[in-house]
Structure 1
Amino acid sequence: MTFRSLLLACALAALPQIALAQDADKKAEKSVAAEEIAPPQVTVTKHEGRFNGQSIRYKAIAGETYLKDKDGKPLAAIFSTAYIKDGAVDPKRPVTFLFNGGPGSGSLWLHMGAFGPKRVVIPSDARDDGAPPYPIVDNPESLLDVTDIVFIDPVGTGWSRALGKTDPKDYWGVTKDAKSIAQFIRIWLNEHGRWNAPKYLGGESYGTTRSAAVANELEGSYNDVSLNGILLISTILDFGVQAEVPGNEMVFVTNLPTMAATAWYHNKVADKPTTVDAFVEEARQFAAGPYLTALMKGGKLAGEERADIRRRLSRFTGLSEGFLENADLRVYPGRFYKELLRDRGLTVGRLDTRYTGVDYDKAGEEPDNDPSFYAIDGAYTAAMNAYARNDLGVKIDRDYVTIGGVGDWDWDLGRGDLTYYKNVAPYIGRALRENSGLKLFVAQGYYDFATPFFGAEYSLSRTGMPTDRIHFEYYGAGHMMYVRDADLKKLSGDIRRFITAR
């Protein structure tokens, strides 16, 4: 045998061993990859509470649900807290899926402020929450007497996250986010055998945007998850109308009734009506009539007509005619927050204009910060962590992301007619038209400047919207109206009646 033949024979003899080694390496790589993603963390605890006068035994399931690709590879973990009534499953008992907004906010606000079995107590009269300890108390206003509840944290919020090498940006967008939440809901219905249960979907702030987009994902194809009701709390659907850009006159129209309510609350109205409802209705009529007409005239508005609009606008906003003239009768929210109470050395809040703050100085054009947010965030963050880790047994060592946990948001809705004009209200119109059993509940605070109530009214009264199945309720607080005790009780009762009226 020649030297070349010997080498060839040795190489051929080694091939099976090389193939086996390569297979072993691949299996090891797969094993390591599998070990990188640990199983979902889930805790189950038993509880009892009294809600709306009824004693309810329930279990709390707090933990992760993995979203997987078609090959079963985990891509993301959705953390949720589900409260389920004990005993045999009642096929007629509803289940309600809730989330907050942001985008980038965890569900702690609705969870620890409104509908969870425990809530954190903060001052009801628009004062700062101060320092801990914050009272965490039983919440008789929870809806557990009429529905099971699932609080959902989208990817990048709460304890929800992308897994392994998954890019979290895959979940950061109107449609991407909605698809992930719809996938979670389908998984939850599978695991808990609730496909034929009455189903409600709800959110607050951007969570109302998410509700519309998720409803479209659930009901917009043949593989439907039909809904009985959608709960919109502090609604933002039409971002075009609310855009603060030169040339958009509708933002001033939809903001005006909120300015009027705020001026009324802070006693900046000379001939103040007895109720805020009455003054708000006056402002609605002025905003949609004479004020809109005046704005549409642009630079042609002059003389006595301009003077009349300026006088009336001053009455509704509580701002001086001189300031309004300098602003060309168009006041952006930031300027309003700073100007309304400048003579008192105070600014008003954005999320809730009942709140006031003190800035570094009085000369600025806009406030340093939002006093209605820094007045409550400490209490909610502390309460969520304390309750979940102590009462529910959550052992996750990562921080709970209250808000701000996502990066650049993809606003593309995937429809040519909506690419530039961001409006998800048509999703709700379509769902109402194609599901005769679907109803819409809309909760709006008079003092909410983040999502003004007149903007919600405008969005939900457009062509193609069956308004006979849309129910509005109004509250004497702001964006998170439930921080006011009377409004928490009213909100709970309003939604309870909405659910049981089916």
Structure 2
Amino acid sequence: MLTTRHAGRLFPALLAAAAILAPTCRLHAQDAPDDKPAPRAERPHTAPSPDVVTPDSTTEGSVTVGGQNIAYRAVAGTITVGGTDPQDATIGFDGKPLPDSGVKLPDNPNDAPPTARMFYVAYFKKDAAAEHRPILFAYNGGPGSPTMWLHMGSFGPKRIVTPDTEHKEGAPYSIVSNPYSILDVADIIFIDAPGTGLSRTFGKNKAEAFYGVDGDAHAFERFIRRFLSKYDRWNSPKYLFGESYGTPRSAVLAADLSSVDLNGVILLSQILSFDNSVDGPQENPGVDQPYALALPTYAATAWYFHKLPTQPPALKPFLDEVQHFALTDYMAALLQGSELPAAQKQAIAEKLHGYTGLPTDYILRANLRVSGGEFSKTLKLDEATTIGRLDTRYQGPDMDPLSQSTSYDPQSDAITSAWNTAINSYLHNDLKYAFQSTYLMSARQGGEFSWNMNHRPPGRFGFGGGGDSHEQGTNVMADLAYRMKSNPKMKVFLAGGYYDLATPYFEGMFEMHHLPMPDSLQSNISYHYYEAGHMIYVNDEVLKQFHKDVASFIQSTESGQ
């Protein structure tokens, strides 16, 4: 997820589906957009009580996927987890001490140990052999974003439909049966992170317990273990599906689930090392990698808008050429810093002009280093138009003609209202849940939100929890590599969009090829890229292909092959 002004993941004032933290504490892909102040965190007038738990709601429905009618049971409810493993072992699913725990809570709930009541919606195919049926745990990012984006946009039985690359006029929105639901091959559980959506936190030091890289992953680990026990699904093939900040969460979570072998991990719009973020690399001088890793996304965007001096006929061969240049001549030039000869600098600038459409003199004044926000601002400056961050195909009026960088994300403004409407309408009308509850579009709305980017990676000798916390940009590549080494049968599915500037697709590819693990394990990773942005499922045709690819992935790995 970083500094507020370089936030990320959707929401005009807090969006969702994925990109990204930085060394200092910036919002993320599914949260607040670049340079737009986060909304003031207002404390609720009355703090929610840990003693008042909304009963689970069970409903039934059906969806047709690939010509197959699938009857399902939906459960909307909460599972409470503790802030530490010892505490978690003393509480029941409702968050109250187990009768034989010997624990007595203090009279003042604010003095109680921290707990998180995590909201979820689980979809179970009816009349299926549940014990051996694959189960997929899905969540969005932020950090601080709820999972309404994946829930109402990707693999649930219902989805919101919005015009691709356009801002719909307003309600009424179209919420339809989803022909691309993953229920044809797996049961799926959508989980809101602590403090987001309908998930709530309680007790003393609750923010410290749950709002951070490690605390967040531990909460999800405890949730999954409790869920597997509650629904007797321990022997089901298990998968994680994280988007945006959900991808680093998945890396840490996979390592945390040390005694639970996962069949697969699906990473959508990935960032594992936040030093690779192109949101504000100028604040991290000497680290030039982000500029090279974002270049193919700049090129794809310029190709899409026909801003290139010479328009290549096809996108993918063009991107192969740009990727090669990014890692060779361009990266070599950046690494030379002030020692780069003037003639070579001019040649690189002209090459960048040919790949991005940006003026050569602008690239030279930027010292060959253009951040994501600067690119979004400059590409269509002659049209007084800003392009999107989460999806560069979206565009809108330039807010400030004299600014150096873009000040908002047109895609966030185009779709947030639709998704907000969809989740609330669906919860009330279909799932019969949370009629009087506020669905938090961001954890910031609940107050006390401050994300701890420090991370304790797995130990070097095969034991989780060792090592020191990172002080630089958080990097969880070691966590994923640790889990892949300890479970060499686990497969990883990496997906992304060519037009995603929040988590550029080439960045994810680069990180995978640099995981600290034997080269032989690289064959466990598959790569899937689409002509879409950060939230690839906004595009109907892309979602269709994404469903096909993920279904094939699950079917090929559910036996542990």
Same fold at TM > 0.5? yes
Contact 1:238–1:425 at 8 Å: present in 2 too? yes
For 1:471, the equivalent position in structure 2 comes to 526
For 2:20, the equivalent position in structure 1 comes to none
Contact 1:155–1:168 at 8 Å: present in 2 too? no
Contact 2:266–2:494 at 8 Å: present in 1 too? yes
Q: 1:293 aligns with which of 319, 329, 332?
A: 332
For 1:412, the equivalent position in structure 2 comes to 454
Contact 1:253–1:291 at 8 Å: present in 2 too? yes
Question: For residues 403 and 472 of structure 2, what CA distance do their matches in structure 1 show?
Answer: 33
Deviations 1:148-202 (A, max 9, x none): 0000001011100113556233100011000000100000000111111100001
Structure 1 residue 356, shift from structure 2 partner: 0.6
Structure 2 residue matching 1:501: 3-state secondary structure: helix
Structure 1 residue 477, shift from structure 2 partner: 0.9
For 1:440, the equivalent position in structure 2 comes to 492
Deviations 1:212-249 (A, max 9, x none): 11111102xxxx11100000000010112226122211
Structure 1 residue 359, shift from structure 2 partner: 2.1
- Once structures 1 and 2 are overlaid, which stretch shifts more, 376-385 or 366-375? 366-375
Q: Note the 1:294-443 alignment, pairs <5 A.
A: 294-405=333-444, 407-414=449-456, 415-416=467-468, 418-443=470-495
Instruction: Call closer, same or farther: CA 1:271–1:159 in 2, change over 3 Å.
Output: same
RMSD value, Cα: 1.7
Instruction: Call closer, same or farther: CA 1:36–1:96 in 2, change over 3 Å.
Output: closer
Instruction: Call closer, same or farther: CA 1:180–1:455 in 2, change over 3 Å.
Output: same
Q: 1:67 aligns with which of 56, 60, 81?
A: 81
Q: Tell me which amino acid in the other structure corresponds to 1:91.
A: E
Question: For residues 487 and 50 of structure 2, what CA distance do their matches in structure 1 show?
Answer: 43
For 1:79, the equivalent position in structure 2 comes to 119
Question: For residues 54 and 304 of structure 2, what CA distance do their matches in structure 1 show?
Answer: 49
Q: Note the 1:22-101 alignment, pairs <5 A.
A: 37-68=51-82, 69=87, 70-72=89-91, 74=96, 75-87=115-127, 89-101=129-141
For 2:538, the equivalent position in structure 1 comes to 483
Contact 1:40–1:65 at 8 Å: present in 2 too? no
Structure 1 residue 488, shift from structure 2 partner: 0.8
* 2:138 is the alignment partner of 1:117: no
For 1:237, the equivalent position in structure 2 comes to 272
Greater Rg by CA: 1
For 2:321, the equivalent position in structure 1 comes to 282
Structure 1 residue 362, shift from structure 2 partner: 2.3
* Structure 2 unaligned spans of 5+: 1-48, 97-114, 457-466
Fraction of identical pairs, as percent: 39
Question: For residues 422 and 133 of structure 1, what CA distance do their matches in structure 2 show?
Answer: 41
Question: For residues 460 and 328 of structure 1, what CA distance do their matches in structure 2 show?
Answer: 29
Structure 2 residue matching 1:235: 3-state secondary structure: coil
- Once structures 1 and 2 are overlaid, which stretch shifts more, 312-321 or 62-71? 62-71
Q: 2:249 aligns with which of 210, 228, 239?
A: 210
For 1:226, the equivalent position in structure 2 comes to 261
Structure 1 residue 272, shift from structure 2 partner: 1.4
Instruction: Call closer, same or farther: CA 1:93–1:328 in 2, change over 3 Å.
Output: same
Instruction: Call closer, same or farther: CA 1:480–1:131 in 2, change over 3 Å.
Output: same
Structure 1 residue 372, shift from structure 2 partner: 1.1
* Structure 1 unaligned spans of 5+: 1-34
Q: Tell me which amino acid in the other structure corresponds to 1:423.
A: N
Question: For residues 524 and 430 of structure 2, what CA distance do their matches in structure 1 show?
Answer: 39
Structure 2 residue matching 1:376: 3-state secondary structure: helix
> What count of residue pairs does the alignment treat as equivalent?
464
Q: 2:511 aligns with which of 442, 459, 465?
A: 459
Contact 2:207–2:450 at 8 Å: present in 1 too? no
Structure 1 residue 343, shift from structure 2 partner: 0.8
Structure 1 residue 36, shift from structure 2 partner: 5.6
For 2:217, the equivalent position in structure 1 comes to 178
Instruction: Call closer, same or farther: CA 1:396–1:168 in 2, change over 3 Å.
Output: farther
Question: For residues 310 and 38 of structure 1, what CA distance do their matches in structure 2 show?
Answer: 62
- Name the structure where helix makes up a greater proportion of residues: 1
For 1:197, the equivalent position in structure 2 comes to 236
Question: For residues 128 and 328 of structure 2, what CA distance do their matches in structure 1 show?
Answer: 56
Give the TM-score normalised by structure 1.
0.89
Question: For residues 442 and 387 of structure 1, what CA distance do their matches in structure 2 show?
Answer: 29
Structure 1 residue 108, shift from structure 2 partner: 0.6
Q: Tell me which amino acid in the other structure corresponds to 2:410.
A: P
Q: 1:167 aligns with which of 203, 206, 210?
A: 206
